[in-house]
Amino acid sequence: MDDLSEGFKNQNANKDKIKLEIYSDEINRVKVSIDNSVWMYIGALFVPIEFKDYCLTTLNNLRCVRHGDWTDEESECPHQCGFHDRNNTEIHYKDMHRSNARLQIAKNWITQFMIRESCQKHRKLVYLNILGLNLSNMNLELFGDDTDRDTTIYNRFYRSVLKGGIGYFFKSYERVTVHKIYHDKGSQESHELFPWHSIYRIGLESGNVSIEEDKIEFIDSDHRKSGMKESHFIQLIDLLLGATYSCLHNPSERKEKKEVGRAFKPALKTILDRKKAHDGNYMEGSYYSSNYYRTQQISFFPKKKMRLDESLSQLDVYGSQVEGAKKTRDENYFYYERPILLNDLSQCNLARWF
């Protein structure tokens, strides 16, 4: 039995403990054209350590579009196809239109890795948690001065993404150890609280979770600049955030970005198909019978405009534990259904024909 098969065997059999790394990124302040609401998105990938190298090898092999057989150095490539330098690029959603190679690799990562490979019924390679914040429904003045407000909001809800993901995906494990948390380089790096505060709070609030490094490690998403293999995971979470944004906002006329969104759209439809049954006693939807269940999650907050007193009692903006708020938060403010605004290509062609 190879190492990967042994890892899946252990994953299914040993529910006592699991060790992870977390990779995270964000999208700041984007609008929905139909109602002008302003949104922020926070995303994280949870990667079991035992599958990390396999995932990186698979992602890199998908850079070799013709042969699926990647080498870090072109001189070592057995195929000598001449595309190595072109394909050895940063997979970044905002630059998708600048390179056909980047687009094809991005679609491969979504369809062949995230949809087909990573979340089969008995093969859980990575876990995805994305939270969309509707800033238009929140009392933003609670989060301090304008100059630092977005980072303060991000810091508060970043903890929710980490803690919520660990609790939801790995609830059956008695012990969860996070080896390290990585984040793309950005303004959070210089924030007074962000590099350590979420780790500190999770340590206080979660008895079965331990985080070995007491600070987030910020790395460049471009592996050529960072010299670190972990940058590939930062590229992947950036891509998945971009694909989600493309589907929910339909913001760009760039056909390449639309193609990325359409590649993820079938999965997104299933992931968002979860709601309370009419009697309110249980959740229903195609998500719960799919391979995405407890493996990939996308949620939104808040569902409605929050009054000042609701914000103070629900948001935990000052880092204090809010007694009795969790149930109300779950029932009234966090939700999963959102309209997908990005049309299928066939629908676009039909509209043009009429």
| Predicted pLDDT at 86 | 84
SS3 (DSSP) at 143: helix
Q: How confident is the model at residue 6 (pLDDT cuts 50, 70, 90)?
A: low
The predicted-structure confidence for 186-203, as pLDDT tens digits, reads as follows: 989 988 899 999 999 999
- Angle, CA of 278, 283 and 288, to the nearest 5°: 135
Q: Rg of the chain's alpha carbons, rounded to an integer?
A: 20
Check whether 90 has a pLDDT greater than 80: yes
Higher pLDDT: 144 or 284? It is 284
| Predicted pLDDT at 206 | 87
What is the C-alpha separation between 191 and 11, in angstroms, rounded? 37
* Contact of 169 with 129, CB cutoff 8 Å: yes
SS3 (DSSP) at 214: coil
Q: Between 3-13 and 52-61, two packed helices, what is the crossing angle to 10 degrees?
A: 130
Domain that holds residue 292: 3-353
The predicted-structure confidence for 99-140, as pLDDT tens digits, reads as follows: 899 999 999 999 999 999 999 988 899 999 999 999 999 988
* Contact of 196 with 231, CB cutoff 8 Å: no
* Contact of 261 with 95, CB cutoff 8 Å: no
DSSP state of 49: G
DSSP state of 343: P
Q: How confident is the model at residue 347 (pLDDT cuts 50, 70, 90)?
A: low
* Contact of 101 with 83, CB cutoff 8 Å: yes
Number of domains in the chain: 1
Q: Which residues pair with 340 in a beta bridge?
A: none
Check whether 250 has a pLDDT greater than 60: yes
Going by their DSSP bridges, the two strands 123-124 and 119-120 should be labelled as antiparallel
Check whether 316 has a pLDDT greater than 70: no
| Predicted pLDDT at 330 | 44
Q: Which helix (H) or strand (E) holds 124?
A: strand 123-124
| Predicted pLDDT at 134 | 96
- Tokens standing for residue 331: 């029932």
Amino acid (one-letter) located at 42: I
The predicted-structure confidence for 10-64, as pLDDT tens digits, reads as follows: 555 567 999 999 999 999 999 998 999 999 999 999 999 999 999 999 999 999 8
CB atoms within 10 A of CB 160: 20
Q: What is the largest CA-CA distance in the chain?
A: 65
* Contact of 2 with 51, CB cutoff 8 Å: no
Q: How confident is the model at residue 324 (pLDDT cuts 50, 70, 90)?
A: very low
Total residues found in the chain within this entry: 354
- Which of 62-66, 67-71, 256-260 bottoms out in mean pLDDT, i.e. has the lowest? 67-71
